[in-house]
Amino acid sequence: MRYRWPGEYRSAVVLSFDFDAESGFLFREPEKAKRSLADLEERRFGPRVGVDRILRLLDRLRLRATFFIPGWTVEHHLPESTRIRDAGHEIGAHGNVHEAVAFLDRPAEEKIMREQLAILEGALGVKPAGYRSPSWDVNVWTPDILKAHGFLYDSSLMGNDVPYELETSAGPLVEVPVQWLLDDAPLFRHVYGATNAIADPGRVLQMWQKEFDAMHAEHGCFVLTCHPFISGRASRIALLEELVGHMRRVPGVWFTTCEEVARWHATNERRS
Ligand SMILES: [Zn+2]
């Protein structure tokens, strides 16, 4: 077997949600964010509607998911962040104001790391096991910073489709890999000037099912990344429900969280 999962499992599935709200827009376009109510409201759909719709979906499906939340979002949308925590889902770090770290030098990145951890701990009592970089942007020194701050894993890179390890000066850091194909943003987000049109949920369902079927055959780790302000829309919640229904008809799938995948990888002999 290419990768050994626990017990009789042949592949793993993680539903992950990056609860950005307005944070990414505030970091990338701070001047526009002072006047564009339109852009702010598009993103406020996440905390106002999307998060609770996703929580109801996960409750119906009896699934635990992983939510990555920037510090700014925890502070400004504390009731929603608290409901995510109280529903028993994993919470991981996701920057402070969704800073793309390509714009940061190492001291700035370390300062922001300390700030986001202080907010997660102070506001939610959460010490996260995992980190997902905003916009999946990672510097060569980022794994060292994560290891130094006690993280078990990162989930921002595309170097494999099963868990793997990043070397740091203090030992290995587990990577729970992502990929563009399994991200809702390039498929569903409307961006003026972009070449892609908004995708038909039926086509996305078919694409994600095909990717799941093929990854299951390859004993892969299917990590889906969705955003409440994008996938909280009604037809996309229905799509996620259909997708999980499809995956549940296949025997041997471990529905789990990023943290459980990382703990499995860190503590077990995976390869036969
Ligand atoms: Zn994000």
Could you read off the pLDDT of 111-149 as tens digits, one per residue? 999 999 999 999 999 999 999 999 999 999 999 999 999
Rounded to the nearest angstrom, the distance between the alpha carbon of 168 and the centre of ligand 1 is 24
DSSP 263: H
Q: What pLDDT is attached to residue 270?
A: 56
Rounded to the nearest angstrom, the distance between the alpha carbon of 94 and the centre of ligand 1 is 7
- Residue pair 117/141 in contact (Cβ under 8 Å)? The answer is no
The correct CATH number of 11-267 out of 1.10.1040.10, 3.40.50.800, 3.40.50.1000, 3.20.20.370 is 3.20.20.370
Rounded to the nearest angstrom, the distance between the alpha carbon of 219 and the centre of ligand 1 is 27
Burial class (CB in 10 A: 0-12, 13-18, 19+), 196: exposed
Rounded to the nearest angstrom, the distance between the alpha carbon of 32 and the centre of ligand 1 is 19
Rounded to the nearest angstrom, the distance between the alpha carbon of 243 and the centre of ligand 1 is 22
Rounded to the nearest angstrom, the distance between the alpha carbon of 18 and the centre of ligand 1 is 5
Report residue 74's pLDDT band, with 50, 70 and 90 as the boundaries.
Answer: very high
Report residue 272's pLDDT band, with 50, 70 and 90 as the boundaries.
Answer: very low
Q: Cα angle vertex 152, ends 147, 158, to 5°?
A: 90
Report the share of the chain in percent with pLDDT over 70.
99
Could you read off the pLDDT of 230-268 as tens digits, one per residue? 999 999 999 999 999 999 999 999 999 999 999 999 998
**Mean pLDDT, residues 199-217 taken together:** 97
Report whether pLDDT(271) > 60: no
Could you read off the pLDDT of 158-178 as tens digits, one per residue? 999 999 999 999 999 999 999
Rounded to the nearest angstrom, the distance between the alpha carbon of 179 and the centre of ligand 1 is 14
- What does pLDDT average to over the chain? 96
**Mean pLDDT, residues 29-41 taken together:** 96
Rounded to the nearest angstrom, the distance between the alpha carbon of 1 and the centre of ligand 1 is 34
- Residue pair 252/222 in contact (Cβ under 8 Å)? The answer is no
